[in-house]
A and B are shown apart, each in its own frame.
Chain A
Amino acid sequence: MTFLSHLINGISLGSVYAIIALGYTMVYGIAKMLNFAHGDVIMVGAYICFFAVATYGLPPIVGVLLAMVVCTALGMLIERLAYKPLRQAPSLAVLITAIGVSYFLQNGAQLLWSANNKMFPNFLNFGGKTGLSLFDGQLTISWTAIVTVVACVVIMIALTLFTGKTRIGKAMRACSEDKGAAELMGINVNTTISVTFAIGSALAAIAGVLLCSAYPILVPTTGSMPGIKAFTAAVFGGIGSIPGALLGGVLLGVIEIFAKAYISTQLSDAIVFAVLIIVLLVKPTGLLGKQIREKV
């Protein structure tokens, strides 16, 4: 029974990683850059929701929507101000800028909201219960875990439909493959990149709220470790691939929780990264990564 409970916790944590990893993977796919500030957008989303609900007493759903709106704007602003001017710059310059943006957000949050812990409220208790009790109470699945997994599945399906069926979604795929050719089709590449950042950041807001619902201590560095893990998950699953982000995220979450439970809490992160390294040695493009074919 404890095994089952660890598994559920792992899948739930992995679903959060997957939602964050999607932001990394989509932005990487189109802008060919690692947006290291993505993790910190999560933190901003969590703070916005925290203040909306805990300080201003707004309903949780309004808090989530508000966080999404703010993060969407923030993501687009970051892209416009920090990354767009570097479209032609070497990727190292872009990477350093992204790290700079990440610190800027963390320090900004510290300045605005202080470095003190905030206890994120648990929205999800129905009739005084915070979870679903099974097997005469031997196994409790928290509502947070259920909502997280459901949210992840819904987001995956929505994104798959979006990129596969809609005009903008297809334009995004076209831009990921060949920006010059996309431009010759009449696609506004800058707008498309901006839309991608908007979607990734809105997802980051959702991830932030879900993450803090499960691990309620909120500080300005809250997003940084999950951000790195989700980036790992994206690489693990195959960067640029949406199903890869899901698979990588969930596997990473499960490995992390199992390592914590059965091996060592201190070593869990080291184990996670060891697994990543082994996978990349065997399959450098990640589990579902596309073989990049050389252009002729």
Chain B
Amino acid sequence: MATMLKVDNINVYYGAIHAVKDVSFHVDEGEVVTLIGANGAGKSTILKTVSGMLRTKTGSIEFVGENISHTEAHKLVYKGLAHVPEGRRIFQQMTVLENLEMGAYIHKNPTKEELEDIFERFPRLKERRSQIAGTLSGGEQQMLAMGRALISHPKLLMLDEPSMGLAPILVEQIFDIIKELHKAGTTILLVEQNAEMALKVADRAYVLETGSVAMSGTGAELATSDAIKKAYLGG
């Protein structure tokens, strides 16, 4: 399978804070790969570096065979990279529809089919299309954030803690959607604190500890590993 994303030996700093240390990993086409780890392990920092919001001091990031470690964030969107950031960051004062239009910004305007596709996946958004996004519930906001990223037909979808702050039933729903997207062939890089759920949907996983990769393997392997069970699965 072709490599979609290849992160090679990156080091990311916030001033003097060394947040990501010598991290390497890769995501193949069609895979769901998850990065798990405790608070402050550096998961979000890695995603922000891939999407061009932060820069690595060393190494390289290759996306579909092209070195993107110096490419501006807004240009990466045109190359097919979509990043749903931590905390959703939907445009609170714009309507649901306008948020989706911003998601399709690189295609000028979303086509009817594109909108219908999103509404089919997230029927709630259709009902709420004219509502101001800031008044949506947390779960609806997460659906909007994912819809906004999917509407640009990304090659790689990066999700930063999509289950954060959601009730268990909504967490299930979000993971069901991730499974469906996986089945449809979407390549996904998933950051999660909910290790149990993440390992279930992921083909492969990397465990981060204080900025470094501590372990990696298939989702099933890690889910049964004793060290992981102890540290993240409460058993």
Q: Name A's B-contacting residues (CB within 8 A).
A: 167, 170-171, 173-174, 177-178, 180-189, 290, 293, 295-296
Contacts and interface: CB of A to CB of B under 8 A. Distances in A.
B83 A184 contact: yes
7 contacts: A170-B94, A173-B93, A181-B85, A183-B53, A185-B148, A186-B74, A187-B102
B93 to A, nearest CB: 6
B105 interface: yes
A181 B48 CA distance: 11
Contacts of A296: 87
10 cross-chain pairs, A with B, having the tightest CB-CB distances, nearest first: A186-B77, A181-B89, A186-B106, A183-B73, A185-B102, A185-B105, A188-B74, A186-B105, A177-B91, A183-B74
Given A170-B94, A185-B105, 6 more contacts: A173-B91, A178-B91, A184-B82, A185-B102, A186-B74, A189-B74
Contacts of B148: 185
Nearest to A176: B93
A289 to B, nearest CB: 13
Contacts of A171: 102, 105
B77 A167 contact: no
Contacts of B87: 295-296
B85 A180 contact: yes
B161 interface: no
B103 A185 contact: yes
A181 B144 CA distance: 13
A186 B85 contact: no
A293 B134 CA distance: 10
A167 B89 contact: no
Contacts of B89: 178, 180-181, 184
Contacts of B71: none
A87 to B, nearest CB: 14
B92 A177 contact: yes
A180 B134 CA distance: 17
B108 interface: yes
Given A182-B102, A183-B74, A185-B103, A174 B91 contact: yes
B73 A184 contact: yes
Contacts of A188: 72, 74
A170 B73 CA distance: 19
B212 interface: no
A293 B87 CA distance: 15
B94 A173 contact: yes
Nearest to A184: B83
B78 interface: yes
A185 B134 CA distance: 18
